[in-house]
Amino acid sequence: MSSIPAVPAANRLLNALPDSDRQHLLAHCERVNLSFAEVLYLAGTKIPHVYFPIDSFISLVTPVDGDIGLEVGLIGDEGILGITLTLGVDIAPFQALVQGAGSALRISVPLFLQELERSRPLQLELKRYLYVSMSQLAQTAACNRFHLVEARLARWLLMTHDRAHADTFHVTHIFLAYILGVRRVGITKAALSLQEQKLISYRRGDITVLDRGGLEGAACECYRTERDTYERILGT
């Protein structure tokens, strides 16, 4: 019954579409619940579904040397998972794993492609989202290269805060270490430092943002740069 949500959908990318285009697309979507740490795509394999997160959020991770990885993208209700389909390639370039449990709209690949073909506004919107994604990817690359773990952690927490729609969310140190490409101990230290500054509080994987403004001060400029890019290209 509640498989098709009321208009407007709670995904900002879809909300930007004209009513008729959105309705058309939503008619083919089903609402699904994504659970923490669920792997939606495996790098190099065929894309099974397209997702529009609502209150869930998804990490894109590029695998390195077998076991380790590095986050190269974070998708929440501002985006879409499966964007490369618009490039005519149905192979996932990255691993996609659920970082924040919650709901999302899901559509099959053939139906998505059909709607993409039909809807010019959808094409335009997705192209611009792709541009933003590329910009963020480059920003992340530079950030990983130059900025300290603590600043990068602060940035990640802010980005996640934006997508979680809640001050508290679940993520362990070891998970963060994987995402940021550092040792678990490095995360522990950085998180302790942020905690001592009363910016966050931490308790067995449940992290709470206490002082968002302070966190922005602790983060590198990359966070603001990313927001600006988003606003400039996709902002209303």
Partner DNA sequence: TGGCGTATGTGCCCTAGCGTACAGACTTTA
Partner DNA sequence: TAAAGTCTGTACGCTAGGGCACATACGCCA
> Which residues contact a second copy (rule: CB under 8 A)?
62, 64-65, 68-70, 72, 84, 86-89, 91, 93-94, 124, 127-128, 130-131, 133-135, 137-146, 181, 221, 232-233
| Residue 194 or 222 having the CB closest to a second copy | 222
Q: Closer CB to a second copy, residue 88 or residue 110? A: 88
Sign of CA dihedral 168, 170, 176, 180: negative
Q: How far is the CB of 193 from DNA (least distance, A)?
A: 10
Binding mask 88-107 for DNA (x = CB under 7 A): --------------------
Range in contact with DNA (rule: CB under 7 A) among 19-27, 73-81, 85-93, 170-178:
170-178
**49-53 sheet: strands from edge to edge:** 30-34, 102-108, 49-53
- Please select the residue that binds DNA; options are 149, 194, 209, 218, rule is CB under 7 A: 149
Q: Minimum distance between the CB of residue 43 and DNA, rounded to whole angstroms?
A: 21
In the list DNA, a second copy, none, the entry touching 114 (Cβ below 5 to 8 angstroms by class) is none
Do 98 and 40 form a contact (C-beta atoms < 8 A)?
yes
123 vs 195 by CB, closer to DNA: 195
Distance CA(91)–CA(88), nearest Å, equals 9
Distance CA 97, CA 31 (A): 18
Query: What letter does residue 46 receive in the DSSP assignment?
Result: B
Report the alpha-carbon distance of residue 70 to residue 180 in Å, rounded: 6
* 188 touching DNA, by CB under 7 A: yes
DSSP 105: E
Cα–Cα separations (whole angstroms), residue 54 to 9, 88, 107: 8, 25, 14
Q: How far is the CB of 219 from DNA (least distance, A)?
A: 13
d(CA 46, CA 41): 8
What is the smallest separation between the CB atom of 145 and a second copy, expressed in angstroms? 5
